[in-house]
Amino acid sequence: MSAYLNTRVSIYAERLWRPVDFDALTRAPDDQLADILAERGLSQLAVGYRDSAGDRDPLSLEQRIIAEVLDETRVLLRPLGGDERDFLLYWTERFEVSNVKTLLRGKMTGERPAALLGRLTPMGAFGRLDVQDLVHAEDVAELMRRLEAGPYAGIVRQARRAFEESQDPFILDAALDRGYYEGLARRARPLEVGAGASMRNLMGPMIDRINLVWLLRYRFNYNLPPAQVYYLLVASHYGLSSERLRRLATLDSLEDILAALPDTIRAVLDGVDNIPDAHARMDQAAADAAVKVLRGGAPAIARAFAYLILRERDLRAVRAVLRGRHLGLPVEAILATTRRAPEGAF
């Protein structure tokens, strides 16, 4: 199993993008886009660019990108069983939790079932929701009841309770996200024991970034009170422990929070004075950690997860380039939206 998975990950790692690849995609003539995408292992995106320009809408692009991620994950899952398989399967469920949020928002606004179905991400064999049934729920309360009888019952139940107290759709979305990532952290625990420090080195920067950025946004962009901010954060045993997060949520300024961070995280954020830059720095730190795991002698499951983290990061940057081209933005403005791994990292 490990030999197959390690070999497959090493082959897939050749698909990861370097700065020169983003530059070439940004500057290429329109009639070369499909070939460039296909050569970089993005066959489903290439199909879209061999079709008419009308197929290049943002939703279609997003769906194709997710389809690429799911296709590669399906291959990496083949030799896996037990906790390792459960973990990677759960990693794909982020996309279906997004479908849950789309269903709830659509029902709140009275969107027609046919239109709502068209906005959902196709999950193929990974799908666990009966979306045909869910879109025909009579109202939000009925949709919640159906969701609570399904595979995401625990996540939805906690989110419903938070929503009932606030009646704020933002709180509903935030609670769903929190529930998902707490589930991911639980599923990572046995792998952190079995695969050693490599899995913790992937999960720690990810959960720390999510919690810190959420804390800052909830506290200073949305002006939520400290208790509510803390409630919406992911329970954590990483660098930003739950107890530390509780204390940080009570502080009254970005500067105070940054000064109270652990030394390792404060060093990553040295010189940062705004939330977007904090997000970008921590995202880069998480990518750097994934590069080290992928290049090193980590267990196969950790290398596979590192690859998926980096692959999806690449695809977000590809999406930014393609959308920038579609909008006619200047080359330098498009390239500024990409977040690049170090040259020669792979």
Residue 44 has pLDDT above 80, yes or no: no
Residue 212 has pLDDT above 70, yes or no: yes
How high is the pLDDT of residue 57?
47
Of residues 139, 151, 152, 84, the one with CA closest to residue 108? 139
How high is the pLDDT of residue 108?
92
How high is the pLDDT of residue 260?
97
How high is the pLDDT of residue 339?
53
Structural domain boundaries in the chain: 197-298
How high is the pLDDT of residue 344?
36
CA angle 203, 169, 161 (to 5 degrees): 75
How high is the pLDDT of residue 53?
47
How high is the pLDDT of residue 39?
84
How high is the pLDDT of residue 163?
86
**Mean pLDDT value of segment 280-300:** 93
Residue 55 has pLDDT above 60, yes or no: no
Q: What do you get for the CA distance between the two ends of the chain, in Å?
A: 23
Helix/strand/coil (H, E, C) string of 104-145?
A: HHHHHCCCCHHHHHHHCCCCHHHCCCCHHHHCCCCCHHHHHH
| 102-120 pLDDT tens trace | 999 999 999 999 999 988 9
**Mean pLDDT value of segment 279-290:** 94
How high is the pLDDT of residue 82?
95
Mean pLDDT rounded to a whole number for the chain: 90
How high is the pLDDT of residue 7?
94
Q: Which has more confidence, 44 or 205?
A: 205
Residue 136 has pLDDT above 70, yes or no: yes
Q: What is the pTM of this model?
A: 0.91
| 303-334 pLDDT tens trace | 999 999 999 999 989 988 988 988 888 988 88
Tell me the pLDDT band of 181, cut-offs 50, 70 and 90. Answer: very high
Residue 59 has pLDDT above 70, yes or no: no
Span of 14-28, 92-106, 243-257, 328-342 with lowest mean pLDDT: 328-342
How high is the pLDDT of residue 8?
94
Query: Over pLDDT 90: what percentage of the chain?
Result: 71
Tell me the pLDDT band of 54, cut-offs 50, 70 and 90. Answer: very low
